[in-house]
Amino acid sequence: MSEKQKARQQKVYTLLVEVGRKAGDGLPDGATGAALMCYASGVDEAEAVRETVAVLKQADLAPLDVSGYGTLDERLAEGHDIPDEERELMEQALRDNAVIVAQMTPFYDEKGETRH
């Protein structure tokens, strides 16, 4: 494999995306937004972020902020414990060249009120 091919090789990145509210977003009633744990393939983290934001916008979500946690190897090097089901989702994202939303955690106002 040449250096150029290695540089273009897809990797899977773990991303945490904060989304706000938008009409038709499918978030629970009363939620003010949500955090989405995503696994996204890309030749680098910037591409994975761009693809993830594009996919979420197509799904009528409103991405506000994206935090990157690196590749599987980077996370392992930092001492993260990564369960088999998480690794399987990462492999699927790589195999399908996809963005996979692995977990969605809705946010609620402290008083239970919806922010506008």
Is the pLDDT assigned to residue 83 strictly greater than 80? yes
Residue 81 lies in a domain: yes
Q: Is the dihedral of CA 35, 36, 39, 43 positive or negative?
A: negative
DSSP state of 2: -
Is the pLDDT assigned to residue 40 strictly greater than 90? yes
Residue 33 lies in a domain: yes
Rounded to two decimals, what is the model's pTM? 0.86
Query: What are the two backbone dihedrals, phi and then psi, of residue 14, each rounded to the nearest 5 degrees?
Result: -90, 125
Number of domains in the chain: 1
Residue 116 lies in a domain: no
Residue 115 lies in a domain: no
Residue 46 lies in a domain: yes
More confident residue, 44 or 1: 44
**Averaged pLDDT for residues 77-94:** 96
What number of residues does the chain have?
A: 116
Is the pLDDT assigned to residue 3 strictly greater than 60? no
Residue 79 lies in a domain: yes
Domain hosting residue 16, numbered range: 3-108
Confidence of residue 111 (pLDDT cuts 50, 70, 90): low
Residue 113 lies in a domain: no
In 3D space, the residue among 56, 78, 58 whose CA is nearest the CA of residue 69 turns out to be 78
